[in-house]
Every structure is written in structure tokens, then in C-alpha cells.
Amino acid sequence: MTRTHQARLILGSASPRRLDLLAQIGITPDEIRPADIDETPRRNEDARAYVRRMAAEKAEAVSAAPDDIVLAADTVVTAGRRILGKPEDAAEARAFLTLLSGRRHRVMTAITLRRGGREWSRLVETQVRLRPLSAREIEDYLASGEWQGKAGGYAIQGRAGAFVNWIEGSFSAVVGLPLAETATLLRAAQAARPSKED
């Protein structure tokens, strides 16, 4: 009986959190090739459309052989209709945390896998509530630097875990990669025959 060929996996992200999450389920990418795209939301683009588009564009931007599997993802935090991406500076992170303090918000992570001309994608939404935060707590958190590079200005897997008093959905999706859904899509992509490309 012949052994099933395993396609090479390319992670289209420089996020160490996504790499750690994949390691939790025993997956090590063959290569890491961060996608370089414009992440500016389009005018009147809602959060679901935006995060799906980002994941798809990242997957498309990564160069790969036809038989390689490219995995890309994007995460956003939304408060009402407002998209909270990665804060540009401490002032914006402070504004985000002040806005999220004591309220429920949504974290959306979209994943896209590409193999040859085929794509698989999934959007996972998780609801999170932060307890009311004091000005001192916010300033101490900002001083830690942990907010940098984090959607919504906080990392649930770090010190900000103490701010979260309720979550409904996927914890790993809030960190940056929904593991159950990613594993399912990887199985589908591995089993699929890549499209022929001349």
C-alpha cells in the first residue's frame, strides 16, 4: 500500500502565535512566507467581508508551487460596527481598551487555504466580554507592550486573560487561528487533487 503524499505547507503569516497554535495540533509548516498586502478596509466594508477578504488576499499573495498548500488567516475585533485592527500606537491601544472595557465584543478570524487553483475558507466568530477596567489597569497593560501587533489591542492568551470574564466560541480563534476548523480544512486540502497548471 502506497503512503499518501503530504503536500508542503506554507504559512502565510509572521505571527508567532499562529505558529504556536499549529504546533499544539502537531503541525509544523515547511516554510513561513508572510504575505505583504494592503490591509486598509474598503469604504463601507463590514467586518465579515473585510476579514474574509484579508485572509483570501494573503493566501493569494504568497508564492507557492501548484502542489503546495498555503495557509493564511486574519483576525479582527469589532465593537458594534467598528473594526478594531492592530493599534498603531499606545494611544490607539488605550482608546481600544477603553472602548472594550465592561462590554461584549466580537472577534472574527477568517482562514483561507489555497492549493493550486483551489481554495477552502472558513470564518469563525467568537464573543468576548471584558470586565470593567480601571485607568491604572489599562496603563499598566500598555506599559507591558503586550498590546503591540494584537487586534483590538489585547492578547487573550497573555496578561489580558485576566480582563476576560466571559467567552462564547473558539478561544484559539481569538488568539489567531481556530484550530478545529483549520485542521478540518487542512485534511480537505491534503486529500484534494491539486488542479493542473501548465
Residues with a catalytic annotation lie at 74
Rounded (5°) CA angle 117-120-121: 135
3-class SS at 2? coil
Rounded to whole angstroms, the Cα distance separating 94 from 108 reads 21
Residue 162 CB: number of other CB atoms within 10 A? 12
The conformation of residue 111, written as its DSSP 8-state character, comes to: E
Quick check: 120 and 106 in contact, CB under 8 A? Answer: no
Rounded to whole angstroms, the Cα distance separating 198 from 177 reads 33
Cell of 55: 485572509
CA-closest candidate to residue 167, choices 138, 131, 134: 131
Quick check: 32 and 104 in contact, CB under 8 A? Answer: no
